[in-house]
Amino acid sequence: MVENYAILPCNGLDKCAGVISRELAIRLCENAKNEIICPVYYRVAEAKYNKIAGGHSLLVIDGCQTRCASKLAAEKNLKISQKLTITEEAKNHNIELKSNLRLLENENALIEIILSDLNNAQDQGRRSSVETSSLINFEYETYQNSKFIFRVPKNPEVYFNENDCWACVVGNRARIGVTDFVQQNLSDILYFTPPEIDAEIDQFGEVGEIESSKSVFELISPVSGKVISINETLVQKPELINENPYELGWFAEIGLTDFESDKELLIGFDKYFEIMKTKVEEING
Amino acid sequence: MSETTFMGVERDKIDWKPAIDYTKCDYCMECVKFCSHKVFEVRETEDIKLIVRNPNNCVVFCRACSKICGPDALSFPDKNATSQRIREIRKEESNG
């Protein structure tokens, strides 16, 4: 059961997804010890809601991808424990949202499904990684551009794609994550959405997502295979990706299915380091 | 700003760019603000106020703009088909 949460909904009253997020927040507060943070009143009653947010885990409900509620949480320096987006949930459950602002059958069904999913997830918890230590001893090359420092592992076990994601391959498994280039560009990472355990991932498929106040980044998997574990620590401490995206901020481990083929479209340290330097120079001059 | 190659393949040969669904787009221009690669162009005085101006600037496999699009108006080609095509081109070019 979702309990002892502060709920920050989008509350966009001119869109169906916003109306659903509002209703969902109300429902979550009806039968459990949860409290709503009103995003509109928050602007003028900061102390009241900071107190609520400080005393609870925070569940953010975004209506759509504009992520107004997430952006408000970032603006107020609130740590997000859990988040969901109504339009994404609707897509995942094959429910079409229209422009109606009254809750009808579809919208109420979606609310029930989300409530049920939230409660089940809370009760079951997540399977986390058994092993959190590094697979290898990382050795780095460093590139500095103005105040920004970019480290890139030069171990032969570490492969990269041109989308700034890495895979450390040991035997038939790979640990994957983003490079310093991504975390420096995103700035403070506020939220990590892990992939599902057991999910089958194609090479270049999406395998988790990170979000900062500036942007959203989906990890584009360098390898294909099955997700065998996730870095559970990141769910509570996404800032570890900023601290060290290789040893602390890895996303997940993948059981490899066809690495020989994947390798054709991956590059090693030498090439990635040059590509990354070019990208940094293009951005920072 | 544009990449000339991706995975050793000329960028021009890879079909990867956003498609704008004008029935959904509300011209909020969040994608324009978001994309540092200048893929989009605003045309204030035209009926269609937003176009994909520089498709080859779009980072292959990146769909980040669609992630921040409130009205869900941006879509991309299938990733598997695209990576398969890249493999084929690489093979063709290495053979000859």
- Distance from the A276 Cα atom to the nearest Cα atom in chain B, whole angstroms: 12
Confirm or reject contact between A205 and chain B (CB < 8 A): yes
**pLDDT at A65 (0 to 100):** 87
Decide if pLDDT at A114 tops 90: yes
Residues from chain A that touch B28, judged by Cβ atoms under 8 A, are 66
Residue A132 pLDDT class (50, 70, 90 cuts): low
Number of domains into which chain B is organized = 1
Please name which of A108, A165, A159, A171 lies closest in space to residue A264, comparing C-alpha atoms. Answer: A159
Cβ-nearest to A265 among B34, B62, B86: B86
Q: Among B1, B26, B61, B88, which would you mutate to test the A interface (most chain A Cβ atoms within 10 Å of its Cβ)?
A: B61
Name the region of A208 (left: φ>0; alpha: ψ -120 to 50; beta: rest): left
CA angle A17, B18, B51 (to 5 degrees): 95
Stretch 26-85 of chain B: residues touching chain A, C-beta under 8 Å: 28, 30, 34, 36, 59-64, 66-72, 79-80, 82-83
Optimal mutation site among A200, A263, A264, interface B, most CBs of chain B within 10 A = A264
Residues from chain B contacting residue A220 (CB–CB below 8 Å): 61-62
pLDDT at A131: 54
**How many angstroms separate the CA atoms of A135 and A175, rounded?**
8
pLDDT at A79 over 90: no
User: Residue A244 pLDDT > 80, yes or no?
Assistant: yes
Which band of pLDDT confidence, cut at 50, 70 and 90, is reported for residue A110?
very high
- Among B6, B67, B87, beta carbon nearest to A218: B67
Structural domain boundaries in chain A: 5-124, 140-284
User: For the domain that residue B11 is a member of, what is the CATH number?
Assistant: 3.30.70.20
**pLDDT, greater one: A75 or A270:** A270
Residues of chain A neighbouring B1 (CB-CB closer than 8 A): 282
Residue A244 neighbours by CB under 8 Å, 6+ apart: none
Mean pLDDT of A186-203: 93
In terms of Cα–Cα distance, which of A285, A6, A251 is closest to A148? A285
What confidence score (pLDDT) does residue B94 get?
84
**Confidence band, pLDDT 50/70/90 cuts, at residue A123:** low
Please answer yes or no on whether B83 and A162 come within 8 Å at the CB atom. no
Q: Looking at the partner chain, which of A215, A264, A282 has a beta carbon nearest the beta carbon of B64?
A: A215
Strand ranges for A102-139 from DSSP E = none
Looking at residues B59-66, what average pLDDT do you find?
Answer: 92
| Dist. CA A124–CA B46, nearest whole Å | 53
| ipTM of this predicted structure | 0.85
Q: What fold, for A140-284?
A: OB fold (Dihydrolipoamide Acetyltransferase, E2P) (2.40.50)
Cβ contact B36–A283 (<8 Å)? yes
Rounded Cα–Cα distance for residues A68 and A280 (Å): 29
A85 or A215: which carries more pLDDT confidence?
Answer: A85
Q: How far is A82 from chain B (nearest CA, A)?
A: 18
B23 near A CB under 8 A: no
Q: Would you say residue B1 has pLDDT above 50? A: no
**Domain range holding B77?**
5-95
Residue window 128-167, chain A: list those with CB within 8 Å of chain B: 161-163
Q: Answer yes or no: is pLDDT of B2 > 50.
A: no
- Chain B residues touching residue A67 (CB < 8 angstroms): 68
